Amino acid sequence: MKHDTAFIRSIAAKVGTPFWLYDAGVIRQRIADIQFMSSAPNVQARFAMKACPATKVLREMAAAGIWIDAVSGNEALRALRAGHAPGNTPPVVCFTADVFRDNALDVVLKNGLLPNIGSPGMVQQLRAAGYTGPVSLRVNPGFGHGHVNTCDTGGPSSKHGIWHQRIITARDAAVSAGMRVVMLHSHIGSGPKHQELHDNLDRLATEFAEMVPLFPDVEAVSLGGGIPHNYRDPAAQIAIEPLRDLFTRCQQRISAAAKRTIRLEIEPGRYYVAPGCTLITQVHDIKETSTNEKGAGATFAMVDAGFVDLVRPAMYGSYHRIEILDSTAEPEPIVLAGPLCESGDVFTRGGADEELQPRMLPRPKVGDLVAIYDAGAYGAAMSSNYNSIGRAPQVWVEPDGTCELISRRETLDDLLKAETSERL
């Protein structure tokens, strides 16, 4: 996503920096990609809304017929307020979690949502609440991976789902509690290589084909999300035609094994939104350290965005393309660092140890704007109020250049709203 610098400056003059800049055209194109991948009969796409839960984005999904995967009670309520239908016939909003936290169980019960159970104990919690509706079981199939180890979603190290060798026990517990198991679900994560994704999805479909005859009430099987986005090379994205063919074959294979039509579901998150948002920040200073016995010196471009805005680089060394807007200087090694009281508040990190990794960038000047690209997935969604900083505003831009502020910058009053002094 790229816009004219003068256009971006005009927005910055109105809302300040940093801010999130959403490109409606890019997001709609990614939605269209997913619609194509899931266009075969009895294939349904969801949006893993944790990636980007902005109401504007949720309404785009509703308009496109994309269902929702929510992982908290408030996520489910956000989806409902954005126009997604309650109930479980069909289960437009599915609640997926390993724990019923806060209002989650109440939201599921009051709105008739399909609970996708990731822990055997959740069956007993539903039973104790008097629930006798349909359920989905999330299976840990024993394999899978994430783009980093902390995002691993399948295998012995993953906390998600019910271990595949114990899934029949969970089925029997649900049935004895009067619940019909209507869906089987798994999420194995996205691999760095396209072929790994295809191989793992094919393997997962094979395992589900072996499992569905043991679940006479199952109506759907979910292969989860995991469609990757290439953060380093925008031109090298995954081909969507082979995935459509794969999902079509998987649906047919699982239906044949069940001897009835089974709905196949997919639930990408990152793929829909990653390229559709850019974090815009401003340079406030340039400073340098010198090489000594402890290590090499560096040139730091100090910007007003930090990991309170985009935490992924600080959390696990994630790579985001960076551009100094309108700079014509010769590239040199630059470390892009933020304002927070943490040494790890650096956007140019990488490698297994997440070490400082200067980027070849034109030397910026104070006042220059910087674009941090592909920030739509787990960007604003994971932002925080650390250092009592208000979360940055979000701006939505239509293809014709029309702009809409879809969330304002948070104030101190917003941060203090939940604080109280109540005797218990």
Residues labelled as active-site residues:
341
**The two three-digit tokens of residue 46, written as one number:** 């969801």
Please give the Cα distance from 294 to 291 (Å, whole number).
8
Please give the Cα distance from 297 to 213 (Å, whole number).
63
Handedness of CA 266, 270, 273, 276 (dihedral sign): negative
**CA 282 to mean position of chain CA atoms:** 26
Please give the Cα distance from 406 to 332 (Å, whole number).
36
Q: How far is the CA of 375 from the CAs of 84, 155, 198, 226, in angstroms?
A: 25, 28, 25, 17
Nearest Cα residue to 286 out of 247, 324, 242: 324
Reported as type and span, the H/E element at residue 2 is none
Nearest Cα residue to 278 out of 22, 14, 51: 22
Q: How far is the CA of 261 from the CAs of 134, 186, 256, in angstroms?
A: 18, 19, 8
Nearest Cα residue to 45 out of 56, 53, 37: 37
Extended strands (E) in 353-423: 355-356, 359-362, 369-372, 394-397, 403-407
SS3 of 47-113: EEHHHCCCHHHHHHHHHCCCEEEECCHHHHHHHHHCCCCCCCCCCCEEEEECCCCCCHHHHHHHHCC
Reported as type and span, the H/E element at residue 105 is helix 104-111
Reported as type and span, the H/E element at residue 93 is strand 93-97
Please give the Cα distance from 137 to 162 (Å, whole number).
8
Give the number of other Cβ atoms within 10 Å of residue 321's Cβ.
15
